[in-house]
Structure 1
Amino acid sequence: MIGQRLKVARSAVGLSLRDLEKKINSRVTAQAIGKYERNESMPSSGVLIALADALGVTEDYLLGEQTMALDGVEFRKKSLASKKEEAQLEARALHLLERYLLIEEMLNISPEWDRPRGAPFPIVNDTGEAERAARSVRDAWDLGMDPIPNLVELFEERGLKVLSVELTNIDGLTATVRRPGKAPLPVIAVNKTAWSERKRFTLAHELGHMVLAVAHGLDEERACNRFAGALLMPAEALWAEVGKHRTSISLGELARLKELFGVSLQAIAYRCKDLGIFDQATLTRLFKIFTQRGWRRPPFEEIGALDPKLEEPRRLERLCFRALAEGAISESKTAEILGISVRQLNRLMDTPEAA
């Protein structure tokens, strides 16, 4: 039965039942598609092909068995986010994850989540305890106090699945992938179109939600922000660069710090305030400058913007290339998993920068 697969594929591309009816040129009605999704009837072979084409999947995908689900889904969203957007993101994540785990199975790879020792770390008195939690994560993962050059690569090495999808009013998602007979895996989805500085902070923030146990009554978002700042900018590393007390700092110096730690000027300013390097007056003066320069409004184009490709997940692509080279998968299946055409795949394989 194709019900669950069809619904996930439709939600993933953001189509309503009536939208899908129109996209298949009304071969069947929206009501009939609804019956397919409820497993009350099955489409004919011709309708199945039309549905698959309209949704950008194969007939085999629609006929396959749904074997995984997302548990504990949490969204980082703006107030404008709708239930439809949430459902679309959840469906996209599930759709991408299924492809991701399929290629790992083909290559006989089964990484496990390397949960940091001691996690979840209790935050029971104040958000400052998130500082110690971030240090514990760095210790558990042998990161030392150096800046982290690429969070996506680090997370995926530790068994976290990181997805990049285009979002509008949602910054990110955290969830756990549940599969029959296998250990659950954590997943983070981030906004593909966000600037890299924001992606890095969102990734660190979402890890906070996974490894912190924030007591009732404390602000969990604030605790995760403090955790993210401490993970990306360890106190000792920041003190070594700027000292322990400052009453002023130039934009040029902030830009060098941004290049070093891979975070926004605003994140650096907040971090300095958290550590007592800046007082409130210094922070206020800086944010007045940020506002005047337009850096606190979309598209947040601060000086020294990081490479937009910096935090793009590439592991799935690498695994697909490996499977293709080893003959474990066909070109058409590889293209399907990566969500591109065979022509685009061939260009990517021959001239990577052209893709």
Structure 2
Amino acid sequence: MTDTAAVARMVRLVREARGWFQRDLATAADISQGFVSKIEQGLLPLTAEYLDKVAAALAVPTDLLLTSGPVGGVETTCLHHRRRSSVMSVNSMRAIEGLTYLTRLSVDGLSVDVDSVPSKHKLRRMPIAGHGAAAAVAAALRAAWDLPEGPVENLVGLLESAGVRIMRRDLGTAAQDAVSTWPAGQPPLILINRDLSPDRERFTLAHEVGHLAMHELPSEDQEKEANEFAGEFLAPASDLEPLLHGLTVRQFPKLAELKMTWKVSMAMLIQRAADLDCISASQFKSFRIRLNQYGWTRYEPGDLPAETPRHIAGLVTAQLDRHGHDIDAVAGQALMLPEPFRRHYMPLVVDELDTTAVRS
């Protein structure tokens, strides 16, 4: 028997993930908006005929709509957003949250019957209250993972080896860099906006790891704390402070060299210099003005090598092998239709093959 309440949650979640309003789904499915509203309120069960129509309109298999969706608040309390701007429409935010949940369902499906590789270290909860400051949490995590002094060479590889699932997706807005989630009993997941520069992507990933480790529930200072965590994790004060002491606005060539060594942006190095009292507030302001004059506030000179996530690509490859390279069957296991699956997941396999070829 179909669970009307569960179907109602999934219809609304998938609709919102597409960025649609109820009227958009009504038009696409050739039903009334009132009918959609009653479905999403759980007031009307979806018969097989209408289930097929709604699923076709949303471009998802009916099996997805019959999957139990998140019960109010349980999933969203563990979602963390890294934004360039605090201003975002409710519709955009719900679309990103819906995409995150659907991605988790797909990756969970792709993980079925695939042997996991034991890791030397795992990401764990490290509440900030037990360490006193976000920088102390970052230092403790580096120590727990036996990281040597100096820069983190391959952050994506490090996080994936710690059980963090990472996937690049178009989040539908340049205002959002990433979103992360870690429901109880499940692996942590980070969706990162496609086409970020490598230095911004690395900082964003470290920022999200800070959330995952420190913030099981939202808090007022969580963004500041996640930034502090990211700065210390990627560029520890004990290593960086001697290099930034006495920095002046004439030393952008030095910043460019440090960027390539530490694999972080010049803007982050300037922020670290201010946070560590290596430069004064007026010097920090001068640095920011100079960055703006150079047009470097969004994209800086000096290209860092991209780091390619490999875990989810490995799951896709394993499922293709299990299913005799039947993409339709693998898409069904991911609770997706074949065409969207090809568009979003098959390029991961190509990227993995390209990365492997470069390494060899």
Indicate the TM-score class for this superposition, using the shorter chain for normalisation: 0.7 to 0.9
> Which residue number in structure 2 is paired with residue 83 of structure 1?
90
Alignment equivalent of 1:186, drawn from 179, 185, 188: 188
Distance 1:15 1:73, change over 3 A: same
Instruction: Give me the TM-score of the superposition, normalised by structure 1.
Output: 0.80
CA shift, 1:295, in A, is 1.9
Q: Letter of the aligned partner of 1:7 in structure 2?
A: R
Q: Letter of the aligned partner of 2:271 in structure 1?
A: Y
Distance 2:144 2:321 in 1: 35
Distance 2:265 2:188 in 1: 26
Alignment equivalent of 1:114, drawn from 113, 122, 142: 122
Distance 1:123 1:166, change over 3 A: farther
Alignment equivalent of 1:141, drawn from 137, 140, 145: 145
Contact 2:182/2:212, CA 8 A, preserved across alignment: no
Aligned Cα root-mean-square deviation (Å): 3.5
Q: Letter of the aligned partner of 2:299 in structure 1?
A: E
Alignment equivalent of 1:208, drawn from 198, 207, 210: 210
CA shift, 1:14, in A, is 0.9
CA shift, 1:271, in A, is 1.1
Alignment equivalent of 1:170, drawn from 161, 165, 176: 176
> Which residue number in structure 2 is paired with residue 332 of structure 1?
328
Tell me the SS of whatever aligns to 1:177.
coil
The alignment-based identity, stated in percent, is: 26
Q: Letter of the aligned partner of 2:321 in structure 1?
A: A
> Which residue number in structure 1 is paired with residue 358 of structure 2?
none
Q: Letter of the aligned partner of 1:201 in structure 2?
A: F
Contact 2:177/2:193, CA 8 A, preserved across alignment: yes
> Which residue number in structure 2 is paired with residue 37 of structure 1?
40
> Which residue number in structure 2 is paired with residue 258 of structure 1?
259
Structure 1 position 53 matched with structure 2 position 56:
yes
CA shift, 1:90, in A, is 1.2
Of the structure 1 ranges 327-336 and 31-40, higher mean CA displacement relative to structure 2 is found in 327-336
> Which residue number in structure 1 is paired with residue 105 of structure 2?
98
User: Number of paired residues?
Assistant: 336
Q: Deviations over 1:36-91 (max 9, x none)?
A: 33333344544433332332211222233447851433433423212222221111
Contact 1:3/1:38, CA 8 A, preserved across alignment: yes
Distance 1:264 1:31, change over 3 A: same
> Which residue number in structure 2 is paired with residue 230 of structure 1?
232
Alignment equivalent of 1:62, drawn from 58, 61, 65: 65
Tell me the SS of whatever aligns to 1:143.
coil
> Which residue number in structure 2 is paired with residue 284 of structure 1?
285
Q: Deviations over 1:100-140 (max 9, x none)?
A: 112212315498992458x2233887xxx433322111110
Contact 2:123/2:164, CA 8 A, preserved across alignment: no
Contact 1:177/1:187, CA 8 A, preserved across alignment: no
Distance 1:165 1:343 in 2: 14
Q: Letter of the aligned partner of 1:279 in structure 2?
A: S
Q: Letter of the aligned partner of 1:231 in structure 2?
A: F
Of the structure 1 ranges 339-348 and 151-160, higher mean CA displacement relative to structure 2 is found in 339-348
Of the structure 1 ranges 75-84 and 103-112, higher mean CA displacement relative to structure 2 is found in 103-112
Distance 1:196 1:86, change over 3 A: same
CA shift, 1:10, in A, is 1.2
Distance 2:240 2:34 in 1: 60
Tell me the SS of whatever aligns to 1:31.
helix
Contact 2:165/2:312, CA 8 A, preserved across alignment: no
Distance 1:255 1:339 in 2: 46
Contact 1:232/1:261, CA 8 A, preserved across alignment: yes
Contact 1:9/1:91, CA 8 A, preserved across alignment: yes
User: Which structure shows the higher helix fraction?
Assistant: 2
> Which residue number in structure 2 is paired with residue 156 of structure 1?
160
> Which residue number in structure 2 is paired with residue 11 of structure 1?
16
> Which residue number in structure 2 is paired with residue 195 of structure 1?
197
Of the structure 1 ranges 202-211 and 227-236, higher mean CA displacement relative to structure 2 is found in 202-211
CA shift, 1:269, in A, is 0.9
Tell me the SS of whatever aligns to 2:182.
strand
Instruction: Give me the TM-score of the superposition, normalised by structure 2.
Output: 0.79
Q: Deviations over 1:132-159 (max 9, x none)?
A: 3221111101111232233333222212
Distance 1:152 1:346, change over 3 A: closer
Distance 1:114 1:346, change over 3 A: closer
Stretches of structure 1 that go unaligned for 5 or more consecutive residues are: none
Distance 1:120 1:217 in 2: 12
Stretches of structure 2 that go unaligned for 5 or more consecutive residues are: 355-360
Q: Which has the higher contact order (CA 8 A, sep 6+)?
A: 2
